[in-house]
Amino acid sequence: MEIINPFPIYVFFECYDFHIKEIEKECKSNSIKYANSKWGENDFYIKVKVQNIKQFNAIFPYAYANGSMNNFACLSFEEDVFSVGHRIFKNVWGQDKEMETPIITVKNNTTLLWVKYDGDGMVLISNDKEYSQLPQLINTLPLKTNYSIVEIGE
Q: What is the pLDDT of residue 2?
A: 61
Distance CA 33, CA 20 (A): 14
Kindly state the average pLDDT of the residues 117-138: 80
For residue 37, pLDDT beyond 70: yes
Kindly state the average pLDDT of the residues 119-137: 80
Please work out, in degrees rounded to the nearest 5, the angle formed at the alpha carbon of residue 61 by the alpha carbons of 41 and 151: 95
For residue 76, pLDDT beyond 80: yes
Q: Which of 39-48, 111-120, 133-142 has the lowest mean pLDDT?
A: 133-142
Q: What is the pLDDT of residue 116?
A: 87
Range 28-35, long-range pairs (CB < 8 A, 24+ positions)? 29/58, 30/54, 30/55, 30/58, 30/59, 31/55, 32/58, 32/59
How much of the chain exceeds pLDDT 90, in percent?
57
Residue 8 amino acid letter: P
The answer to whether residues 13 and 71 touch, using CB atoms and an 8 Å cutoff, is yes
Q: What is the pLDDT of residue 121?
A: 81
Question: For the chain, first and last CA: distance in Å?
Answer: 33
Distance CA 82, CA 3 (A): 25
Q: Work out whether strand 33-39 and strand 73-77 pair parallel, antiparallel, or are unpaired.
A: unpaired
pLDDT class of 94 with cuts at 50, 70, 90: very high
Q: What is the pLDDT of residue 60?
A: 93
Q: What is the pLDDT of residue 138?
A: 77
The answer to whether residues 111 and 104 touch, using CB atoms and an 8 Å cutoff, is no
For residue 154, pLDDT beyond 60: no
Q: What is the pLDDT of residue 7?
A: 92
Q: What is the pLDDT of residue 42?
A: 83
Distance CA 141, CA 26 (A): 27
Length of the chain in residues, anyone?
154
For residue 27, pLDDT beyond 60: yes
The domain locations on the chain are 9-139
For residue 153, pLDDT beyond 70: no
